[in-house]
Amino acid sequence: MQWTEEAERVRLRAAALALDGGDKPDSKKDVFADLGSPVSPLRMRATPSSSSSSAGSANNAAEAAGGGSRGGGGVRRTHSGELAAESNPPRPPGHQRSGSGPLIFSGGVSSSSSGAAGSGGGGSSTASSPHPNVLPTRSICSSGRLAAAPRPRPRPDVLGSGTGHYGHGSIMRGGGGGAMATPARSSVDSSRNPASFPLESLQEVTRAGNEWYKQGRYGEALRHYDRALALCPDSTACRGNRAAALAGLGRLAEALRESEEAVRLDPASGRAHGRLASLCLRFGMVEKARRQLMLAGNVNGSDPAEWQKLHEVESHLGKCMDARKTGDWKSALREADAAIANGADSSQLLLALRSEALLRLNKLEEADSTMTSLLKLDTTSLSSMSTKLSGMVADSYIHVVQAQVNIAFGRFDVAVAMAEKARLIDPGNAEVGMVLNSMKLVAQARAQGNDLFKAGKFAEASIAYGEGLKYEPSNSVLYCNRAACWSKLGRWAKSAEDCNEALKIQPNYTKALLRRAASYAKLERWADCVRDYEVLHKEHPSDPEVAESLFHAQVALKRTRGEEVSNMMFGGEVETVTSIEQVRAAVHSPGVTVLYFMATMNHQCTQITPSVDALCAEWPSVNFLKVNVDENPMVAKAENVRIVPTFKIYKDSARVKEMICPSLHILRYSVRHYAVSNS
């Protein structure tokens, strides 16, 4: 077989296509750009210029024709004219050599290179040869890309005949019979559906994943990145892509671990260090984020924006801790919010500081909501934080705040359990020990008080609850429980006082509000009583007991003011009027009156009438009257009503609102507005 220059050139191009030039796709000129997005698709291998390739091929062909070897690692010809490697056989997938990244295989041809080959044996180059007697099935253009070509008819012993031209056919996929689809190297139209991409190579899988990522479909992107990682598990780029998709899905702990693995695989990757720094900052790991930014800066230069974010988070965190030491809870809350806004949005420590500040500011619902957000954070298998607050380990402090929030809401057993966890983490800390002891004493006092209350020993129960308040003076549950004891003992003023204390700590404490309203009723403080019941009625409009209590309190209040209350009736139906005199008497009565003009056969009236009946029951202090315009046309004419349904609202003899065919929402809002303002 005649060894030709063309054959050698094709062999070198096939080897170049298989080289892992795309294992490190991160651009050194932009380390921190788009840290939250996947890295660029794995790049195709750079193709040597035609002139250099031809020259190299000519030299190599001359050496091969003379039977010489290059650097002791060249190729030899067999008696049949086939090419066989004398040394450095093809490495299996995943094999890694010092000085190069993991191999990325594209089709059935693989190659690796440890140095540039020279004509004088100063370098070495090895490449795996095609399987013997396997014809390439596609042509290789001068640009290095595979071009479609008609499949040649099989000819007997083409390679051995000395008449064939090696490299003018198609490259078989792994020695099989199908042609390998080569991924296009041009940019992909973002509007194209990634699902339509032919996923036949690592590059295509990665490109499809990137397209899903651009569309915000992180789950689909992750599925493709997982497939790419399976093809090349030691690729820094694949690890970085997967980390970006996981971060998009909110699985930050997994993203952090993937980024750490990417840095381990390629310590020289600036993008990998930058992504890891960004994730560390989100978790509030300031020192670790700083180390990664320094490493990234050594590779590609520092990014001022990333350093600024780090400095802002560190500054606000320090100020928050200082404010906590002095008990300046407003400042502590402000600084914690600023640190979170500057990037540390998944920091358990900052969320715990925020929750404690809210708790001390008597914003219990927000404190509990913040703690719930903390517990939802994806922090599985993350290393423990070394930060300390007043000598307390950060992890222990987080459990202490959890205990405080739980005990504020009456979850005493959970609070003790959290305090015990804090003690296990930081057994030598005196503050943790004091918190645990206090939690146990408060829980014990509350349990004892409950037992005495159930036994009817209300005086003893009040003393037990008082003991608990000595250890936890800002516990609204204990105040409310003691108020119940005072109510049973008929000491209404003391009951109202304890309810006031409970409501100072927890303003939306429904049980304390109910007990205070009942106490005000016993003390005949009707204005205060009506005010509390109105708040309760707004929060629980369908509660019949609250509605009835409000009605009776309103009647009592009107009576003390000397107002007429004989026409007020709780839970009655809408009164039907048949004369102009009845209408005039109703609208001139004190309070709020709603006149409903309707017709029996009108469709809109049929639909809204049940809602009017419900409003009458919901607001017993409001007078509801209805006028059937078909049966009483003179009343409708006197009120100038031409369209039904029509509603007129009167307050203290003056018409304040008129609505023609209103929606149920507007009707309900209007009735509620004037009913509340009246009382």
Q: How far apart are CA 181 and CA 42, in angstroms?
A: 16
Residue 588 pLDDT level (bands cut at 50, 70, 90): confident
Q: How far apart are CA 42 and CA 31, in angstroms?
A: 16
Percent of the chain at pLDDT > 90 equals: 41
Domain shared by 174 and 225, yes or no:
no
Domain shared by 221 and 100, yes or no:
no
The pLDDT value recorded for residue 124 is: 40
Backbone angles phi, psi at 410, to 5 degrees: 80, 10
Per the structure, the complete domain to which residue 199 belongs is given by 194-306
Which residue blocks in 283-428 are alpha helix, DSSP H? 286-300, 304-326, 329-341, 348-360, 364-376, 394-408, 412-425
Tell me how many domains the chain contains: 3
Backbone angles phi, psi at 425, to 5 degrees: -70, -40
Domain shared by 1 and 149, yes or no:
yes
Cα maximum dimension of the chain: 127
Nearest to 646 by CA among 605, 601, 592: 605
Check which CATH number belongs to the domain holding 594 and give it: 3.40.30.10
Domain membership of residue 58 (yes or no) is yes
Residue ending a domain, choose from 255, 286, 306: 306
Neighbours of 542 (CB within 10 A): 10
Q: How far apart are CA 198 and CA 181, in angstroms?
A: 8
Going by C-beta distance under 8 Å and a sequence separation of 6 or more, which residues neighbour residue 31? 270, 271, 273, 274, 296, 297, 299, 300, 301, 303
309 vs 391 pLDDT, higher one: 309
Number of H helices, E strands in the chain: 26, 13
Dihedral, CA of residue 515, residue 517, residue 519 and residue 525, to nearest 10: 170
Residue 80 pLDDT level (bands cut at 50, 70, 90): very low
The pLDDT value recorded for residue 569 is: 60
pLDDT for 257-309, tens place per residue?
Answer: 999 999 999 998 888 898 999 999 999 888 899 998 888 876 665 678 889 99
Supply the mean pLDDT for the chain.
74
Domain shared by 86 and 206, yes or no:
no
Q: How far apart are CA 321 and CA 314, in angstroms?
A: 11
Report the relative pairing of strands 392-393 and 575-576 from DSSP bridges. unpaired
Check which CATH number belongs to the domain holding 210 and give it: 1.25.40.10
- Could you give the 3-state DSSP secondary structure of residue 48? coil
Domain membership of residue 44 (yes or no) is yes
- pLDDT greater than 50 at residue 536: yes
Domain membership of residue 659 (yes or no) is yes
Percent of the chain at pLDDT > 70 equals: 66
Domain shared by 118 and 34, yes or no:
yes
The pLDDT value recorded for residue 50 is: 41
241 vs 51 pLDDT, higher one: 241
Residue ending a domain, choose from 282, 306, 330: 306
- pLDDT greater than 90 at residue 8: no
Domain shared by 160 and 215, yes or no:
no
Domain shared by 279 and 244, yes or no:
yes
Q: How far apart are CA 194 and CA 206, in angstroms?
A: 10
Domain shared by 164 and 238, yes or no:
no
Residue ending a domain, choose from 180, 209, 230: 180
Domain shared by 75 and 175, yes or no:
yes
Residue 644 pLDDT level (bands cut at 50, 70, 90): very high
Element containing residue 624 per DSSP (H, E): strand 623-628
Domain membership of residue 491 (yes or no) is no
Domain membership of residue 327 (yes or no) is no
- pLDDT greater than 90 at residue 653: no
Report the relative pairing of strands 111-112 and 83-85 from DSSP bridges. unpaired
Domain shared by 143 and 247, yes or no:
no
Domain membership of residue 556 (yes or no) is no
Residue 587 pLDDT level (bands cut at 50, 70, 90): confident
Domain shared by 45 and 149, yes or no:
yes
Least confident of 373-387, 465-479, 518-532, 537-551: 373-387
Amino acid of residue 208: A
| Top mean-pLDDT range of 13-17, 74-78, 173-177, 449-453 | 449-453
- pLDDT greater than 50 at residue 505: yes
Q: What does each C-alpha distance from 347 to 65, 96, 283, 385, 618 come to in angstroms?
A: 68, 37, 4, 10, 47
- pLDDT greater than 50 at residue 3: no
- Could you give the 3-state DSSP secondary structure of residue 183? coil
pTM for this predicted structure: 0.58
Per-residue tokens: 437: 């002891």
Neighbours of 498 (CB within 10 A): 29
Domain membership of residue 478 (yes or no) is no
The pLDDT value recorded for residue 305 is: 85
Q: Taking a C-beta distance cutoff of 8 angstroms, is the pair 331, 319 a contact?
A: yes
CA 61, 172, 113, 24 dihedral sign is positive
Domain shared by 77 and 210, yes or no:
no
Q: How far apart are CA 168 and CA 11, in angstroms?
A: 11
Domain membership of residue 46 (yes or no) is yes
Q: Is the peptide bond before 544 cis (omega within 30 degrees of 0)?
A: no
pLDDT for 96-151, tens place per residue?
Answer: 443 434 333 333 333 333 333 333 334 443 344 444 444 444 444 444 444 444 44
